Chains A and B, each alone.
Chain A
Amino acid sequence: MEIALLIILAVVAVVVIGVILIYNGLVQRRLRIDEAFAQIEVQLKRRYDLIPNLVSAVKGYLEFEQDTLTRVTEARANAIAAGARGPAEQAAAENMLTGALRSLFAVVENYPTLKANENVLSLQEQLTTTENQISFARQHYNATVRDYNTAIATFPAVLIAGMLGFLKREFFDAPDEVEQVPAVDLSLRT
């Protein structure tokens, strides 16, 4: 009789410890998702701050490209405003901004003195790295979501994940606008 009792106690202990470990693991993974999401915001803000510097650095040289410059400034303002209207709208506005910046850099290619200008080169590098950081931040976010979704769907966590309130999370998906190639204006204007 005593052995049977001991065995039952041992099994219960193993199950309890198992549930604790699984729960802690899932909580950790879920928190990583939230952190990764917040990091995306950080990178987007960085870009907002860099753009005015870029525009003022090139403004003097690009008197005939005012359209392009205006597009960039407006797209930036739009993106900042869209931040309050939800992630889908924000992502769409961000992509418009990316498109506007690409047009601007394409235009800069036509002006050799401007292209070689130290300020412009340094700002170009900064914008390149910011764009990369944004996309890597999104990629990392997706990696944390993948990790978490896998954890709650595999054995043994799958048995209890639903009960403990761990639900599947969505990946970050680029909205349809990004499938369109941004228009780059290469018309020769002197």
Chain B
Amino acid sequence: MSTFYQQQSANRRNSFLLAFLVVALLAALGASIGYVLTADPTGALVVTAGAVVFGAILSAGSYFSGDRLVLAASGARPVDEASAPQLTNVVRELSIAAGIPMPKLYLIDDSAPNAFATGRDPEHASVAVTSGLLEKLDREELQGVIAHELSHVRNYDIRFTLLVGVLVGSIALLADMYLRVSFWSAVGRRGSRGGGRSEGAGLGAIMAVVAIVLAILAPIIGRLVQMAVSRQREYLADASAVELTRNPYGLERALAVIASDQEVLEVANRATQHLYFTNPIKKFEKRASGLFSTHPPIVDRVNRLRELTSRPPLGSEEIAGLSGLD
């Protein structure tokens, strides 16, 4: 794909299709469980809706104050124009290009270069960068990274991935509850199968099997799809960053610098890894071509940027040169 518009359209479309897949999965699981428990379609609807509402309540905290939690957990301290003039200027420039209000800025004292953005919408956004990022990138590269982070804010990615997370969480909740219920009821019954519903008994048995299979598989499939959504939104953020800076080289060089950096970001962990610019957990980055990764492999991200300027993808020597990936 040779323009960032085309890349953006494809990424958006893919992420919506994947999200729809999660909804369908949840609906299928809810329908089969509801049918088995109540032999009635409205029962299925109630059960599914109940799981989603419950999951949403659990995530409400994350929606409203998730950014404060993440910032505190990452040891980020607020900075302003006096303490970080160049960073403030770069963020201000790109906020103008993006047409969004300026987010709050934070600094993490760590020599590993990385950055993240949180906030449910552009009016409540925060961007954090590490001191390592400021030291190791030049102004053009910093622009690329900040443009990527502001694109996450502008595309409402935090909200989108939270919604997908709620759905996947509901799938897991529902599956878990159902497996417990059917386990204990199977233990309790011990011999007398089913009930007296002789006409629906055949369909009931099939649905019971379907429900169990879905209950086991749906959480895993849901998780895989969630990871795929996260990767699509990362590609979208890269393409949107190029729309803002009109300069793929800056972002590409930033990715190369960060890929070859060996430092480990100490404050990052499994819970926060999905938020960062590149996956801060180095061993996850190495296995990034796997389906369980939140971020696409850096080589793929660089190659997509090279497409925008009609350059060939990275050769094997250049890849080896990004020593962090070996």
Contacts and interface: CB of A to CB of B under 8 A. Distances in A.
A102 interface: no
Contacts of A43: 96
Nearest to B86: A125
Given A136-B94, A139-B246, A125 B99 contact: no
A132 B146 CA distance: 14
Contacts of B90: 129
B97 interface: yes
A144 B99 CA distance: 9
A126 B88 CA distance: 11
B92 interface: yes
A140 B246 CA distance: 12
B96 A140 contact: yes
A44 interface: no
A125 B98 CA distance: 21
Given A129-B92, A133-B92, A140 B85 contact: no
A39 B96 contact: yes
B42 interface: no
Interface residues of B, number: 14
B239 to A, nearest CB: 15
B98 to A, nearest CB: 8
Interface string B161-181: 000000000000000000000
Given A122-B85, A125-B85, A125-B86, A133 B93 contact: yes
A142 B89 CA distance: 22
Interface string A23-43: 000000000100010010001
A151 interface: no
Contacts of A19: none
Contacts of A137: 96-97
17 contacts: A32-B99, A39-B96, A43-B96, A125-B85, A128-B139, A129-B92, A132-B89, A133-B92, A133-B93, A136-B93, A136-B96, A137-B96, A137-B97, A139-B246, A140-B96, A140-B97, A144-B99
Interface of B: 85-86, 89-90, 92-94, 96-99, 139, 244, 246
Given A136-B93, A140-B98, 11 more contacts: A126-B89, A128-B139, A129-B89, A129-B90, A133-B92, A133-B96, A136-B94, A136-B97, A136-B244, A137-B96, A140-B97
